[in-house]
Chains A and B, each alone.
Chain A
Amino acid sequence: MNAIGGRPSPAGGNNASGFLSRYAELRDSLPGDVCVRDVAAAQLEREGLPRREVEAWKYTNLRPLWDTSFAGGSAVQEADAGPVLDALLSTLGDENAASARLVFLNGLLSDGLSRLPGSVTIRRTVPQPLPAGLHPMLALNQMLSADGVAIEVPAGLDGGRLLVIGLGSAEHAPADWHARVSIALGAGASLSVLQIDQGTGCYLSNAAITVSVAEGASLRHARLQRDAASAMSFALVHAQIAERGSYDVFNLALGATLARFEVHARLVGAQAAVHVNGAQLLDGEQVADLTSVISHDAPNCNSRQTVKNVLQGRARGVFQGKIVVARPAQKTDGYQMNQALLLSEQAEIDAKPELEIYADDVKCSHGATVGALDEEQLFYLRSRGVPVPEARAMLVQAFLLDAIELVQDEPFRQVLDDAIATWWAGRAA
């Protein structure tokens, strides 16, 4: 309870000054409306990046962001990236490899490597005006974003599957990019977005994703975050879901030294649904944070969350999940479960599942458990002849199962399963 609300004034100079001075240099060369960027810059000038005194950043220290001097994103040749992409696709199975895809190289959309879908409209975009009081990472994104796409599925259409692949490479100096993705589904439309982020070197990937789901539309979004070991990986989703619409998102965090996947979802129409699920498997000195704010603004909506952390080494997992039920949101059904498995003496989990409820006819609950592998289960497996590493793997897999099985896209779930198996094989060795 050493939490203190409000925004602190950046002590000891502005901690966003590196980003701000780069903006000053690039201001006139960046695409789009400069006013929109100036608003964001003014905010960062005023407030800097949040420190841990800010409640929402209590458990995730952004210090590495201002301690690293980033040099922007260097251009990557498609010829260099092609083999990397092919290697990735070859591991994803036929169905995924054959799907439409958008490929970003260091935050810039690659026309040559992308394969555009049929029924979905893809447009290049630049930052659009957003209300004042931006999320700090969104402000940073808005100020420096160099490329982005708007994905639109017209009403009534099934947009099928779309892979969004982000490949990063920063071999020489720390790089940063701030990609922008907006996904809009017309009434009754549907789409499955499968996102993979990976790379090499030290970089900051700070994506901002806007989701708009119209009446009766359904968006499925699963992400495999396998960023480079020394990368900082941020993805911020703002979603708005209309009547009977649904947004179903899953984030599997395996990579990066510092990561945060953050979802702000608003259920603005009756009977809308949102599911924010995820798993974080961390080792070494990794810190990964899954933060969500789900706002029930309309009646009869439903939100579900299942979040798992598996922590090795000195890793730290963070889960912050807030459900806000506004006064009109009667008959809300909200449920949230977060569980953590600590596999080493030095691992740490910080969790803050939060309910803020202003409507009386609601059913909201959350549960949290933290613990080690169950010794009794482990012994049972061993007594049947299963060696310790295999027994642990089985139990960890079982622990993750009820989160992973929420990924509805079968071929992509297979990708996630494989990624977990690979991750685990890397530990056990």
Chain B
Amino acid sequence: MPAVAETISTVETLGQSTYKWGFETAIEMELAPKGLNEDIIRLISERKGEPEWLLDWRLKAFASWQTMKSPGWGKIGHPPIDFQDVHYYAAPKKKDGPKSLDEVDPELLRTYEKLGIPLKEQAILAGVEPPEGMGAAAADIDDEENAQRPDRPRVAVDAVFDSVSVATTFRKTLAEAGVIFCPISEAVREHPELVRQYLGTVVPAGDNFYAALNSAVFTDGSFVFIPKGVKCPMELSTYFRINARNTGQFERTLIIAEEGASVSYLEGCTAPMRDENQLHAAVVELVALDDASIKYSTVQNWYPGDAEGRGGIYNFVTKRGACRGARAKISWTQVETGSAITWKYPSCILQGEGSVGEFYSVAVTNNHQQADTGTKMIHIGKNTRSTIVAKTISAGRSDSTYRGLVRVLPKASGARNFTQCDSLLIGDQCGAHTVPYIENRNMSAKVEHEATTSKISEDQLFYCRSRGLAEEDAVGLIVNGFCKDVLKELPMEFAVEAQKLLQISLEGSVG
């Protein structure tokens, strides 16, 4: 049997057992009734203690959502989603707020431990005493322990559990630098002027079907504000987890980098194994002013469903960054290995003169997964530059599509874009597709696009195996090499995790 065929058969055996984040956490939940109507939205807003303007904004979004249809142009197929069969609010039930770590629900801590994020270990976490209101339990983390271990990369984490942010770490250090990093629900209370100034300015409430839905019902997410001239002293990170059954997760992230500020932000996502599909519809908005820089990295590992295509997360996400200022830079890096369906196009609006947009993506699909992902680079300002590097790997019976738009408007003189899309097919039952749109209305702009589709070469495989590598390791090695240009953009500590994920996603039982 040729080497590749063997690989295919091993890949095909990948079952749900290989999704190692597929644990369920037994935590008491508060659930809003299923379904979506104005009352639910009022309930969410009230639970969050929101001001009137935000409730109005949600209701307007809801009104426009009701007039919209779910987009049909993606190369994805799924049974119609019953939006009335979803809980739009789920939160870990609060007894009295824990006063110390010992009082924190041990299940929750174990969750973080299983997630493999550095929270537990650093004794950081715990929904220790929420500042006020309900839902977000935030903890100030003592930095001393960290100071004793200067070797450890410092990452501040905001953990979002179903609909609610449960913990944010390193607040004190960040506050000293003037950085605000907190749950968005808290930001609404503590920094209403900032939220009001920026919320919905990059992704308007009625931008698209899923963004409108999110605007109506978003429950939490992270808020980051880096003031003028500040370089954020550490990586910021949010971990998202869907836990409750029949729950939609609708988080909303807003990151603002003022003039000359810079920040690197990472999000990770997991969900338990379930037979039914769960809906995730997030919105991420980034704003970069003059000379600011935002690096946004995602390692998406939502439950992909089982080998027969049962269950898995429907991941419909709108991510967009606005380079409003001159020389601003927004860089998206994503490693998409999870979800039954991925539909996301992290984009850059390059408005400021000389601003820069980047999109680095690895999307891996296996079994019955479907991914339709890519980016939009909208060149508005002079001398704006963008780079797109997208690597697509399809295995099993999956379909993966790169869909991207590069649009150069008439005033974007001197704009530059370079796009490289490469697809790798593993097995003859999958599909890999490339759909780039190039629209150029400025003669001095230069746009270059290259795309290739190929399979893992027998020569490469044979070479590795003749040097003693097991076939699965050889595949992993080659795939990692194929993705190198993207993986190297990830913050160091996550690059390793991402590599492991790739291996696991593709090799299944072999891993």
Contacts and interface: CB of A to CB of B under 8 A. Distances in A.
Interface string A351-383: 111111111111111111111100000000000
A25 interface: no
Given A1-B73, A5-B72, A365 B451 contact: yes
B441 A348 contact: yes
A343 B444 CA distance: 9
Given A1-B403, A327-B428, A368 B439 contact: no
Contact of A350 (B434, B438, B455): B438
B437 A352 contact: yes
B18 interface: no
A347 B425 contact: no
Nearest to A343: B443
Contacts of A348: 439-441
- B73, B410, B438: most-surrounded residue (chain A CB, <10 A): B438
Nearest to A355: B434
19 contacts: A1-B437, A5-B72, A6-B72, A342-B442, A347-B441, A349-B440, A353-B449, A357-B433, A361-B455, A363-B454, A364-B452, A366-B434, A366-B450, A366-B451, A369-B446, A369-B447, A370-B440, A371-B443, A372-B446
Interface residues of B, number: 41
Nearest to A365: B452
A229 B442 CA distance: 25
Contacts of B403: 1
B360 interface: no
A363 B439 CA distance: 26
B440 A340 contact: yes
A89 interface: no
Nearest to A59: B439
Given A342-B440, A348-B439, A4 B452 contact: no
Contacts of A351: 436-439
B431 to A, nearest CB: 5
A345 interface: yes
A368 B448 contact: yes
Interface string B171-188: 000000000000000000
A1 B374 CA distance: 10
A365 B423 CA distance: 10
Given A5-B73, A352-B436, A360-B455, A365 B450 contact: yes
B451 A357 contact: no
B79 interface: no
B86 to A, nearest CB: 24
B446 to A, nearest CB: 4
B448 A369 contact: yes
The number of chain A residues touching the other chain, given as a range, is: 35 or more
B453 interface: yes
Given A350-B439, A361-B455, A369-B446, 14 more contacts: A349-B440, A353-B434, A354-B436, A355-B432, A360-B426, A360-B430, A362-B455, A365-B450, A366-B450, A367-B451, A369-B447, A369-B448, A369-B449, A370-B447
A360 B440 contact: no
A342 B443 contact: yes
Given A364-B453, A370-B438, A372-B444, A55 B433 contact: no
B80 interface: no
Contacts of A350: 437-440
Given A4-B72, A370-B446, A370-B447, A357 B440 contact: no
B203 to A, nearest CB: 14
Interface string B105-126: 0000000000000000000000
Contacts of B437: 1, 3, 350-352
A348 B408 CA distance: 10
Nearest to A335: B452
A365 B424 CA distance: 12
B449 A367 contact: yes
Nearest to A327: B428
A68 interface: no
